[in-house]
A and B are shown apart, each in its own frame.
Chain A
Amino acid sequence: MKGYWYLIPVSVTLGFLTKNLMHYWLLGLFLIWILYLYHKQRLGIFPILISLIASLFFTWYIPSPTQLENTAPHLPDKKEYQMTGKIISPIDEKSHSIQFLLKDNSHDNTVQVVYFNGKHDTASTSGRIHSLKYGATCEIKGIMEVPDQPTNPGQFNYRQYLFGQGIHYQIVVNQLSGLKCSGSGYMHRFYKLRDMLTTYVVTNTSESTSAWLSAIVFGDDSFLPKDTIELFRRWSLSHLLAISGLHVGLVLALLYFILIRLLGLTKENAQWTILLFLPIYAVLAGGEPSVIRASAMGFVFIVINKLHMKWSVSDVLSFIFILLVLVDKYIIYQVGFQFSFLVTFGILLSQKWLLQDGFSFFQMLKLSFISQLIILPLYFTYFSTFQPLSIPLNMIIVPYFSFFLIPSLFILFILSPFKLIAAILSSLINVLQEYMLAMITYIDNSFSTSLSLGPLPLSITVIYYVIFFLLMKNLHYKNLTKAFGYGILLVVVLVSGAIKPYVSNVGYITMLDIGQGDAFVVELPHRKGVVLIDAGASFSFDSGEPTEKVYTQVIKPYLLSRGINKIDAIFLSHEDTDHNGSLSFIIDEFKVGAIIVSQFYELGEQEIDSLNKLGVELLRLNENTAVTIGGESFTILGPKKDRASSNSNSLVIYGRLGEKGWLFTGDIGVEEEKNILQEFPGLEVDVLKVAHHGSNTSTDDEFIRKLQPEYALISAGKNNRYGHPTQEVIDRLEKYDTTILRTDQDGAVQFRFKKDKEGTFYRQFP
Chain B
Amino acid sequence: MYCLWCHEEIITEVHWGNLIHLYRPKRLCMNCESQLIKIQGDLCSICSRVSSVKKCADCLKWEDYEESPIKFNASLYTYNSFMQEVVAKWKYRGDYQLAKIFQYEFEKEYSKKFSFLTKKKPVVVPIPLSKQRMTERGFNQAEVLADFIPLQKDHVLERLHGEKQAKKTRYERISTENPFILRKSINKTVILVDDIYTTGTTLRHAARLFKGNGCPNVYTYTLIRG
How distant is the Cα of A16 from the Cα of B40 in the complex, in angstroms?
48
Other A-B pairs, 14, CB within 8 Å; known A2-B11, A469-B20:
A2-B1, A3-B13, A33-B20, A42-B24, A312-B11, A313-B13, A314-B14, A349-B14, A349-B16, A472-B16, A473-B19, A475-B16, A476-B16, A476-B17
Convert A14-30 into 0s and 1s, putting 1 for each residue whose CB lies closer than 8 angstroms to a CB of B. Answer: 00000000000000000
> How many residues of chain A are within 8 Å of chain B by beta carbon?
27
How distant is the Cα of A348 from the Cα of B16 in the complex, in angstroms?
9
Interface check A706, CB cutoff 8 A: no
Interface bin, chain B: 10 to 19
Interface residues of B in 1-52 (CB under 8 A from A): 1, 9, 11-17, 19-25
Q: Is B14 a contact partner of A3 (Cβ separation < 8 A)? A: yes
Interface check A352, CB cutoff 8 A: yes
The one of A41, A311, A477 that contacts B17, using a Cβ cutoff of 8 Å: A477
Interface check A310, CB cutoff 8 A: yes
| CB closest chain-A residue, reference B12 | A3
| CB closest chain-B residue, reference A5 | B14
How distant is the Cα of A311 from the Cα of B24 in the complex, in angstroms?
18
How distant is the Cα of A33 from the Cα of B22 in the complex, in angstroms?
11
A313 partner residues in chain B, CB cutoff 8 A:
13
Interface check A351, CB cutoff 8 A: yes
Known: A2-B1, A41-B24. A350 touches B13 (CB 8 A): no
A352 partner residues in chain B, CB cutoff 8 A:
15
22 contacts between A and B (CB under 8 A): A2-B1, A2-B9, A2-B11, A3-B13, A3-B14, A4-B12, A37-B22, A42-B25, A310-B9, A311-B11, A312-B13, A314-B14, A349-B15, A350-B16, A351-B13, A352-B15, A353-B16, A469-B19, A469-B20, A473-B16, A473-B17, A476-B16
A473 partner residues in chain B, CB cutoff 8 A:
16-17, 19
| CB closest chain-B residue, reference A313 | B13
B21 partner residues in chain A, CB cutoff 8 A:
42
Interface check A281, CB cutoff 8 A: no
| CB closest chain-B residue, reference A351 | B15
How distant is the Cα of A267 from the Cα of B62 in the complex, in angstroms?
66
Shortest distance from the beta carbon of B21 to any chain A beta carbon, whole Å: 7
Shortest distance from the beta carbon of B104 to any chain A beta carbon, whole Å: 10
How distant is the Cα of A336 from the Cα of B87 in the complex, in angstroms?
54
Interface check A43, CB cutoff 8 A: yes
Shortest distance from the beta carbon of B8 to any chain A beta carbon, whole Å: 9
Chain A CB count within 10 A is highest, among B14, B17, B23, B25, for: B14
Shortest distance from the beta carbon of B222 to any chain A beta carbon, whole Å: 25
How distant is the Cα of A41 from the Cα of B103 in the complex, in angstroms?
13
Convert A23-51 into 0s and 1s, putting 1 for each residue whose CB lies closer than 8 angstroms to a CB of B. Answer: 00000000001000100011110000000
Interface check A6, CB cutoff 8 A: yes
| CB closest chain-A residue, reference B8 | A310
| CB closest chain-A residue, reference B18 | A42
Chain B CB count within 10 A is highest, among A4, A312, A473, for: A473
A349 partner residues in chain B, CB cutoff 8 A:
14-16, 19
A4 partner residues in chain B, CB cutoff 8 A:
12, 22
Q: 9 tightest A-B contacts by CB? A: A3-B12, A42-B22, A472-B16, A476-B16, A473-B16, A314-B14, A312-B11, A476-B17, A312-B13
Shortest distance from the beta carbon of A2 to any chain B beta carbon, whole Å: 7
Interface residues of A in 325-381 (CB under 8 A from B): 348-353
Chain B CB count within 10 A is highest, among A41, A43, A349, A477, for: A349
B16 partner residues in chain A, CB cutoff 8 A:
349-350, 353, 469, 472-473, 475-476
Interface residues of B in 100-151 (CB under 8 A from A): none
Shortest distance from the beta carbon of B207 to any chain A beta carbon, whole Å: 34
Shortest distance from the beta carbon of B7 to any chain A beta carbon, whole Å: 13
A44 partner residues in chain B, CB cutoff 8 A:
25
Known: A2-B1, A310-B9. A42 touches B23 (CB 8 A): yes
Shortest distance from the beta carbon of B220 to any chain A beta carbon, whole Å: 28
| CB closest chain-B residue, reference A468 | B16
How distant is the Cα of A6 from the Cα of B14 in the complex, in angstroms?
9
Shortest distance from the beta carbon of B120 to any chain A beta carbon, whole Å: 28
Convert A305-330 into 0s and 1s, putting 1 for each residue whose CB lies closer than 8 angstroms to a CB of B. Answer: 00000111110000000000000000
Interface residues of B in 157-174 (CB under 8 A from A): none
B17 partner residues in chain A, CB cutoff 8 A:
473, 476-477
Shortest distance from the beta carbon of A313 to any chain B beta carbon, whole Å: 7
How distant is the Cα of A638 from the Cα of B17 in the complex, in angstroms?
67
Known: A2-B1, A349-B19, A469-B19. A314 touches B24 (CB 8 A): no
A311 partner residues in chain B, CB cutoff 8 A:
11
The one of A312, A351, A475, A476 that contacts B12, using a Cβ cutoff of 8 Å: A312
The one of B11, B14, B25 that contacts A348, using a Cβ cutoff of 8 Å: B14
How distant is the Cα of A41 from the Cα of B22 in the complex, in angstroms?
9
How distant is the Cα of A644 from the Cα of B25 in the complex, in angstroms?
85
Interface residues of A in 469-496 (CB under 8 A from B): 469, 472-473, 475-477
| CB closest chain-B residue, reference A43 | B22
How distant is the Cα of A321 from the Cα of B72 in the complex, in angstroms?
55
How distant is the Cα of A469 from the Cα of B13 in the complex, in angstroms?
17
A41 partner residues in chain B, CB cutoff 8 A:
24
